[in-house]
Amino acid sequence: MHRVLALSMLLLAKGAVDAAPKVEPAKFGWYTDYAAGKAEAKRTGKPMLLVFRCEP
């Protein structure tokens, strides 16, 4: 019973992730190019925040 419940929850979670809309970084002012982001940080005098992640 617990295995069926766990499997059902896993499949529901996967479906929610697959259905999530793709985020457009430019819409939020994010840079996906390191050199462009670094140049903008230097131009504005603001610090950079780097996020490393793996997308399937």
Does residue 46 sit within a domain? yes
Number of domains, the chain: 1
pLDDT at 10: 61
pLDDT at 20: 62
Q: Are 36 and 29 in contact (CB under 8 A)?
A: no
- Reference 26, options 14, 16, 40, 12; nearest CA is 40
Q: Are 32 and 25 in contact (CB under 8 A)?
A: yes
Does residue 7 sit within a domain? no
Residue ranges of the chain with per-residue pLDDT less than 50: none
Does residue 33 sit within a domain? yes
Query: 38: domain range?
Result: 23-56
Does residue 10 sit within a domain? no
Give the Cα separation of 56 and 49 in Å (integer).
22
Does residue 8 sit within a domain? no
pLDDT at 37: 92
Backbone angles phi, psi at 7, to 5 degrees: -65, -40
Does residue 52 sit within a domain? yes
